[in-house]
């Protein structure tokens, strides 16, 4: 009689899933128990125990935890932990990864933390084997980064290498010097020195005279009484004009050559063009061939 009962129970267990076996053991018989009570005793979250009974293994993050929780749950309910674990492995398709037959393989490779035999190395190897694609991609990215770093370092070193200079082919850069005219008077003070380097028109006071220089828009760029010897460098450009309070007291130098006076002494002269081309003295006329004879 007892043998028939055992046989019926074994057949029933084979036909039931691991979750159905767990739920049946918890809810039938004289010792019916609730999930919250068992969760507190095993220190396992209620939703994880419920997921084991429902066969919803996606709720639990890793297979090692699924198998570990199931083993502890089965022992608490008086079931065979090896049988429950073997069923879950087959349901999850893990038979090839964790041998369903044999306690040694299960204990070494698929054991979960918490009272179940196993090792960190074995669990690590299983994790790496499952995630090998991610590890391969990471290694490939690391290799690319290393190669890029080596190339970048080599280019920086090559750029820091001093270049050999052929001193024989170096040509001296001509230095532009400012040639001052042969002023009639010794220079007393200079004005407009910011224009000195490129100035083609230079004014010098031979007698005391008021001088004002304006740009093309009529804006005053210089206004001052110059005393004998004072020099003013006119800005470059062809659109400046000047006013002399004593036209005969100002010497106008154009490209180092003294030009004609803008007017008579002690006379005011306005609108004097500072265009070098207009101020240059006219070239002497060529002698007539007939008159030369």
Specify the range with the lowest mean pLDDT, choosing from 49-53, 159-163, 257-261, 278-282.
Answer: 159-163
103 and 23 fall within a common domain: yes
User: Does some domain include residue 113?
Assistant: yes
How high is the pLDDT of residue 257? Answer: 92
Q: Which residue has the higher pLDDT, 30 or 126?
A: 30
Mean pLDDT of the chain: 79
Mean pLDDT of 73-84: 93
Q: Which residue has the higher pLDDT, 237 or 201?
A: 201
What confidence tier does 96 reach under pLDDT thresholds 50, 70, 90? low
Domain boundary among 62, 86, 118: 118
Looking up residue 233, the CATH number of its domain turns out to be 2.60.40
Q: What is the number of structural domains in the chain?
A: 2
* pTM beyond 0.75: no
Residue 180 has pLDDT above 80, yes or no: yes
User: Does some domain include residue 87?
Assistant: yes
User: Does some domain include residue 41?
Assistant: yes
DSSP secondary structure of the chain:
-HHHHHHHHHHHHHHS-HHHHHHHHHHSSS----HHHHHHHHT--HHHHHHHHHT-GGGSS-HHHHHHHHHHHHHHTT--HHHHHHHHHHHHT-TTTS-SS-HHHHHHHSPPTTTS---HHHHHHHHHHHTHHHHHHHHHHHHHHHHHHHHHHHHHHHHHSPPP--GGGPPPPPPP-PPPP--SS----EE-GGGTTT-SEEEEESS-EEEEEE-TTS-EEEEEEEPTT-EEEPPSSS--EEEESSGGGEEEEETTEE---SS-TT--EEEEE--HHHHSPPPPPPPPHHHH-
Residue 50 sits in which domain range? 10-118
Mean pLDDT of 255-278: 90
Mean pLDDT of 125-140: 78
Mean pLDDT of 58-69: 91
Domain boundary among 118, 149, 176: 118
Mean pLDDT of 216-243: 90
How high is the pLDDT of residue 229? Answer: 93
User: Does some domain include residue 173?
Assistant: no
Residue 165 has pLDDT above 80, yes or no: no
Residue 228 has pLDDT above 60, yes or no: yes
User: Does some domain include residue 39?
Assistant: yes
Mean pLDDT of 189-209: 91
What confidence tier does 162 reach under pLDDT thresholds 50, 70, 90? low
Domain boundary among 94, 118, 142: 118
Looking up residue 112, the CATH number of its domain turns out to be 1.10.260.40
């Amino acid at each position: 009689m007892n043998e028939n009962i055992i046989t019926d129970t074994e057949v029933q267990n084979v036909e039931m899933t691991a979750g159905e076996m767990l739920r049946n053991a918890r809810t039938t018989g004289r010792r019916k128990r609730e999930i919250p009570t068992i969760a507190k005793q095993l220190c396992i979250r209620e939703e994880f125990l419920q997921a084991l009974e429902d066969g919803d293994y996606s709720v639990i993050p890793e297979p090692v935890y699924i198998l570990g929780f199931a083993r502890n749950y089965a022992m608490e309910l008086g079931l065979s932990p090896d049988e429950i674990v073997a069923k879950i492995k087959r349901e999850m398709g893990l038979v090839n990864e964790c041998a369903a037959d044999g306690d040694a393989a299960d204990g070494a490779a698929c054991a979960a933390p918490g009272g179940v035999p196993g090792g960190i190395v074995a669990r690590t190897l299983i994790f790496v084997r499952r995630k090998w694609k991610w590890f391969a991609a990471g290694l490939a990215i690391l290799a690319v980064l290393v190669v890029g770093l080596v190339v970048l370092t080599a280019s920086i070193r090559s750029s820091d290498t001093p270049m050999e200079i052929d001193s024989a082919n170096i040509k001296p850069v001509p230095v532009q010097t400012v040639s001052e005219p042969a002023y009639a008077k010794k220079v007393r003070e200079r004005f407009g020195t910011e224009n000195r380097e490129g100035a083609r028109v230079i004014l010098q006071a031979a007698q005391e005279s008021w001088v004002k220089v304006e740009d093309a828009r009529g804006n005053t760029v210089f206004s001052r009484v110059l005393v004998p010897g004072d020099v003013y460098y006119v800005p470059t450009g062809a659109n400046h004009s000047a006013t002399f309070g004593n036209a005969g007291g100002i010497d106008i130098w154009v490209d180092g050559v003294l030009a004609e006076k803008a007017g008579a002494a002690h006379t005011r002269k306005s609108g004097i063009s500072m265009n070098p081309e207009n101020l240059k003295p006219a070239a002497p006329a060529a002698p007539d061939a007939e008159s030369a004879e």
